[in-house]
Amino acid sequence: MTSSNFRIGGEIDVRRIGFGAMRLPTEAGAAREASVAVARRAVELGVTLIDTAYMYGWGANEELLAEALHPYPDDLLIATKVAIERPAPGEEAQVNGRPEFLREQVEQALRRLRVERIGLLQMHRLDPKVPLADQLGTLREFQLAGKIGHVGLSEVTVDELDEARRTVDVASVQNRYSLLDREHEAVLDACEEAGIAFLPWRPVHPAASTATAGIAAVAAELDATPAQIALAWLLDRSPVVLPIPGTASLDHLAENVAAAELRLSADQRERLDRITPAPAG
pLDDT band for position 213 (cuts 50, 70, 90): confident
pLDDT band for position 3 (cuts 50, 70, 90): confident
Q: Is residue 127 part of a domain?
A: yes
Share of the chain above pLDDT 90, in %: 93
Does 39 score more than 70 pLDDT?
A: yes
Helices first, then strands: H and E counts in the chain: 10, 11
Per-residue pLDDT averaged across 147-161, rounded?
Answer: 98
- Tens of pLDDT, residues 69-122: 999 999 999 999 999 999 999 999 999 999 999 999 999 999 999 999 999 999
The two most distant CA atoms of the chain are separated, in Å, by 54
Q: Which pLDDT belongs to residue 76?
A: 98
- Tens of pLDDT, residues 223-276: 999 999 999 999 999 999 999 999 999 999 999 999 999 999 999 999 999 997
Q: Which pLDDT belongs to residue 182?
A: 94
Q: Which residues contact 270 (CB under 8 A, 6 or more apart)?
A: none
pLDDT band for position 44 (cuts 50, 70, 90): very high
Does 1 score more than 50 pLDDT?
A: no
Say how many domains are in the chain.
1
Q: Is residue 258 part of a domain?
A: no
Q: Is residue 234 part of a domain?
A: no
Per-residue pLDDT averaged across 128-136, rounded?
Answer: 98
Cα–Cα distance between 213 and 124 in angstroms, integer? 35
Q: Is residue 94 part of a domain?
A: yes
Report the CATH number at residue 95. Answer: 3.20.20.100
Q: Is residue 135 part of a domain?
A: yes
- Tens of pLDDT, residues 7-30: 999 999 999 999 999 999 999 999
Does 207 score more than 90 pLDDT?
A: no
Strands of 125-217, DSSP E: 148-154, 170-174, 197-198
Q: Is residue 275 part of a domain?
A: no
Enclosing domain of residue 72 = 5-205+241-246
Q: Which residues are catalytic?
A: 56
Cα–Cα distance between 179 and 235 in angstroms, integer? 11
